[in-house]
Amino acid sequence: MATMDTETAASVKSGFTAAVPFARTLGVEFLDVDYGRVVMRLPDDQAHHNHVGGPHAGAMFTLGESASGAIVTGTFGDRLDRCVPLAVHADIRYYKLAMGDMIAEAKLARPRQEIVAELDEGGRPEFAVEVELRTEDGTATGAMTVTWTLKPTRS
């Protein structure tokens, strides 16, 4: 798959930020965006801490789900006039206490062309986005799988 051009990447970032006010409220930031891969950061903020001083599980979930959603809008943006992306299921695993800024790196688990072919055949494709949650020094603190669907719109 080709690398996303600067204009498309900027469009994905601004569109996501406009469409997802809760992520904006938490201060989620883009570090990298490309077809099938997104990296986002949740800056450390005491207002988002839990009872043990790390980021609250809900804030970490929002970071991971946001990265997965940004992949969907970026990778399938050329098809969003015919379908609506919806999260179907999410599973998150917490490995260890996270401290400081958090990073979510999300990757599309299925080739885009397979998903698009299923949509083009009139189907409602489901696909996973795998997300690694880590601290800025690279320590893995959790993982998440978000299953998405592209629901065809009625014409």
pTM: 0.93
For residue 14, report the phi and psi dihedrals to the nearest 5 degrees.
Answer: -70, -40
- What gap in Å lies between CA 16 and CA 18, rounded to an integer? 5
Using one digit for the tens of pLDDT, what is the confidence trace for 126-137?
A: 999 999 999 999
CA 37 to chain centre: 9
Residue found under tokens 């609506």: 84
6-152 has which CATH code?
A: 3.10.129.10
Q: What is the pLDDT of residue 154?
A: 80
For residue 96, report the phi and psi dihedrals to the nearest 5 degrees.
Answer: -155, 165
Q: What is the pLDDT of residue 60?
A: 95
- DSSP H or E run through 13: helix 6-19
For residue 21, report the phi and psi dihedrals to the nearest 5 degrees.
Answer: -65, -30
